[in-house]
Amino acid sequence: MANKRPLILITNDDGVSAKGINELVKCLRDLGELVVFAPDGPRSGMASAITSLVPLKYTLLKEEEGLTIYSCTGTPVDCVKLALNEVLDRMPDMLVSGINHGGNMAICVNYSGTMGATAEGCIFDVPSLGVSLLDHTPDADFSECCRIGRVVAEWVLEEGLPHGTYLNLNVPKSPQVKGMKVCRQTDGRWIREFKRSEDGSGKPVFWLTGDFETRSHYPDDDMAALNEGYASLVPCKIDVTDYDFKKRLESLI
């Protein structure tokens, strides 16, 4: 037991070179031993996708006191699985995924590779936190996001999380975030999702785009908090069973 410092696994879906993950590393550096194990390029929108038809590889990029950085050919979830199964010599005390360039509020938790990796940490019973900034630009200013992310990360490291629960933190694009609210996931969906275009031979092709449409508004949902200039923290569950409808279904079917 030579090394008693907390071990923190860091990953993302924008790839190991993105500004967001490197800002996160700087911000958490003194909290423990950091291992970055992240995709070798962008993997946005990969959700909890796993790679089974081709094998995975990983590469050691950097090794210095308290910080080791690997890149991996897989998805964000592949990264977590490979790091935990094959690379780390002990279970980490925390996983932090991000900082994502772009928000993962509302239904985005369903599509996000950042949140897929966070859920995967949770499945391994590693206290896991996903962090996203509502700014897609490559050179976004992560300072407020780092400030708030660090507070939550310190809390998670200290307190842990219940079995099967992980955290989704979103931070608005603002030079001064007002604070943080504990929220529920906003109910809604994307509409007008494709931009029609043409390939070189004139055949139609479809680019994913779209606008988010809220269905039900709740004062405690994450988009309400973000719109008011607060960061939102949504605790999320791995178990997606609808227990209320399960009871009704038992008598119906």
Binding string, residues 150-169; x marks residues near a second copy by CB under 8 A = --x--x---x-xxxxx----
Question: Can you read off the two tokens belonging to residue 250?
Answer: 């038992």
For a second copy, what does the binding mask look like between residues 102 and 121, x meaning CB under 8 A? Answer: -----x-xxx----x--x--
Q: Which of 21-29, 30-38, 127-135, 196-204 is the region at the interface with a second copy (rule: CB under 8 A)?
A: 196-204
Going by the DSSP 8-state scheme, the letter that residue 188 receives in this structure is E
Are the CB atoms for 234 and 168 separated by under 8 Å? Answer: yes
With CB under 8 A as the contact rule, which of the stretches 63-71, 93-101, 135-143, 178-186 interacts with a second copy?
178-186
Our finding on whether 180 is near a second copy (CB under 8 A) is yes
Binding of a second copy at residue 60 (CB under 8 A)?
no
Residue 234 in tokens: 């949504």
Question: By CB under 8 A, how many residues form the interface with a second copy?
Answer: 76
Kindly state the smallest distance separating residue 110's Cβ from a second copy, in Å: 5
18-57 residues in contact with a second copy (CB under 8 A) are 42, 44-53, 55-57
Distances (CA, A) of 163 to 31, 77, 144, 231, 239: 23, 18, 29, 24, 10
**Which one of 17-25, 26-34, 131-139, 192-200 is the stretch in contact with a second copy (CB under 8 A)?**
192-200
65 versus 250: smaller Cβ distance to a second copy: 250
> Based on CB atoms, which residue is closest to a second copy, 24 or 148?
148
DSSP symbols for 110-157: GT-HHHHHHHHHHHTT--EEEEEES---TT---HHHHHHHHHHHHHHH
Q: Kindly state whether residue 1 participates in binding a second copy, applying the rule CB under 8 A.
A: no
- Interaction of residue 139 with a second copy, rule CB under 8 A: no
188, 108 contact by CB (below 8 A) = no
Kindly tell me which of 51 and 68 has the beta carbon lying closer to a second copy. 51
Distances (CA, A) of 153 to 130, 135, 227: 10, 21, 23
The Cα-based distances of 31 to 6, 24, 91, 97, 229 in angstroms read 7, 12, 16, 15, 28
Nearer to a second copy, 52 or 176 (CB): 52
Q: How many residues does the structure list for the chain?
A: 253
Give the N- to C-terminal CA distance of the chain in Å, as an integer: 55
Binding mask 207-246 for a second copy (x = CB under 8 A): xx------x-----------------xxxxxxxxxxx-xx
Smallest gap from residue 2 Cβ to a second copy (A) = 27
